[in-house]
Structures are given as structure tokens and as C-alpha cells.
Amino acid sequence: MHYPNGRKNNHTYKTLSIANRAQGFSNRGMTLEEDINAANTYYRDMDKAVIHKKPTPIQVVNVHYPKRSAAVITEGYFKQPSTTDYNGIYRGRHIDFEAKETKNKTRFPLANIHEHQIRHMKSIAKQGAVCFLIIRFSAYEETYYMPAEVLFRYWDAQFNGGKKSIRYETIVKEGYLVPFHYQARVNYLAVIDKLYF
């Protein structure tokens, strides 16, 4: 895939099976995205919130047809930079967040987030949106809610001699462990309720 500026995307994103050890439940075979999508479906079904994953518009350039009934996209470009993964509304507040999963046991690399995503998050946070990052540490089977203000502090510091990652211990201290719920596997609204309502 290529970004709108023509630069090739060399990132390889791997999804991992996760179980939330801290809550004692198993959801093996599920990725963070699948868990959040399941939670969002539950929230909508229960008429609790309306939050969706935003599709990334892609321009298809080349398609290979190995069989008559199958097509494989071999080259494509992102039409525009993506913003964040999810947005919607909950209790009258705009919700907007990015979700990332890492295998790293000691830190969360800030390179996992793009500058245009941070710009978007800062812009909507100024308008009063509930903005945050969900980070899953697959090695510990833990998922954390990190408020945007905390993320921004570490993001900005990396350009002024600070570290290019956030330590796991820091995320545990300054973030919030997201509880596991059978229907809402990543029950991030429980954290939002504590912080805002």
C-alpha cells in the first residue's frame, strides 16, 4: 500500500490471539480490532452508544485474477491519510480513538502512531471530544485506555530529547486497565464513565 504522498507503507501489522488474564476470561483467537468491534456491536444493540470503525478509502491500482471467481488486489494506494480507527457518540459526547496492539513487553513504540493521527486527535480534543488511545500488550494479555492528554505529552516530548516510546510501567500508572466484559470484550465505556460521568 502507498500513502497519498506516494510513500510506500512498509509496516507489517500482526494480530495476535489475546485473553484478558487480569479478568480471568478467555477470548483466544480474537484480535484487538475484533474485540472492539464486538464491544461496539454490543453497545449499539443495547442502545448504549453508537461507535463505528472508520473505513480507510483505498484506490485499487492492480488486480490479479488467479481464478475466474477470485480477485486479488496486488497494488493499491491510500486515497488520503487515515485519522483514527473509531468514532461515534456516547451520552452526548463525541468519542474518537485509535487502537494499537503490541508484542513488546516493556514499552509501546510511538512509531506505531502516525503524525497525522496525532494532529487529528489534538484537533478534536480541542473541540471537547473524548479522545484516547487503546493499547493492548499481547504478552501480558492486558488492554489499557490512555487519555489523549497523556499520549500528547509523550508524543511531543520525543521531539525535545524525550524517549520514542512509552514504558509499560508508565502506561499501567497513567492509563486505565480496560475491564473485560463477556459481550463487550474491551469495555472501554466503563473507563469513560469513571473519567467523565
Largest CA distance in the chain: 55
**Residue 178 CB coordination number (10 Å):** 27
Is there a domain that residue 16 lies in? Answer: no
Q: With 60 as the cut, is the pLDDT of residue 145 above it? A: yes
**36, part of any domain:** yes
Residue 179 three-state SS: coil
Q: Concatenate the DSSP letters of all residues of 127-159 into one string.
A: TT-EEEEEEEETTTTEEEEEEHHHHHHHHHHGG
Q: Which three cell numbers stand for residue 20?
A: 484478558
Contact 40, 54 (CB under 8 A): no
Rounded to whole angstroms, how far apart are CA atoms 22 and 177? 9
Q: Is it the case that residue 53 has pLDDT exceeding 90?
A: yes
Contacts of 167 (CB under 8 A, 6+ apart): 106, 107
144 part of a folded domain: yes
Say if residue 59 carries a ligand binding annotation.
no
Q: How many domains does the chain have?
A: 1
In angstroms, the CA 19 to CA 142 distance is 8
Task: Quote the percentage of the chain above a pLDDT of 90.
Answer: 67
- Residue 148, pLDDT > 50, answer yes
Supply the CATH number for residue 103's domain. 3.40.1350.10
In a domain, 176, yes or no: yes
- Whether 157 maps to a domain, the answer reads yes
Instruction: Determine the structural domain holding residue 104 and report its residue range.
Output: 21-55+81-196
Strands 130-137 and 93-102: parallel
Residue 76 lies inside a defined structural domain of this protein = no
Please determine, for residue 186, whether its predicted confidence score (pLDDT) is greater than 70. yes
Strands of 93-102's sheet, edge to edge?
Answer: 50-53, 86-90, 93-102, 130-137, 142-147, 176-177
User: Is 117 labelled a binding residue?
Assistant: yes
Instruction: Flag whether 158 is marked binding.
Output: no
What would the grid cell of residue 52 be?
Answer: 463505528
Residue pair 118/80 in contact (Cβ under 8 Å)? The answer is no
Is 0.85 surpassed by the pTM of this model? no
In this structure, which amino acid lies at residue 104? N
In a domain, 72, yes or no: no
Structure confidence at residue 6 as a pLDDT band (50, 70, 90): low
* pLDDT above 80: residue 135: yes
pLDDT, tens digit (0-9, with 9 covering 90-100), for 149-181: 999 999 999 999 999 999 999 999 999 999 988
64-116 pLDDT, tens digit per residue, is 888 777 888 787 766 556 789 999 999 999 999 999 999 999 999 999 999 99
Q: Is residue 4 part of a domain?
A: no
What is the DSSP-derived secondary structure letter of residue 185? S
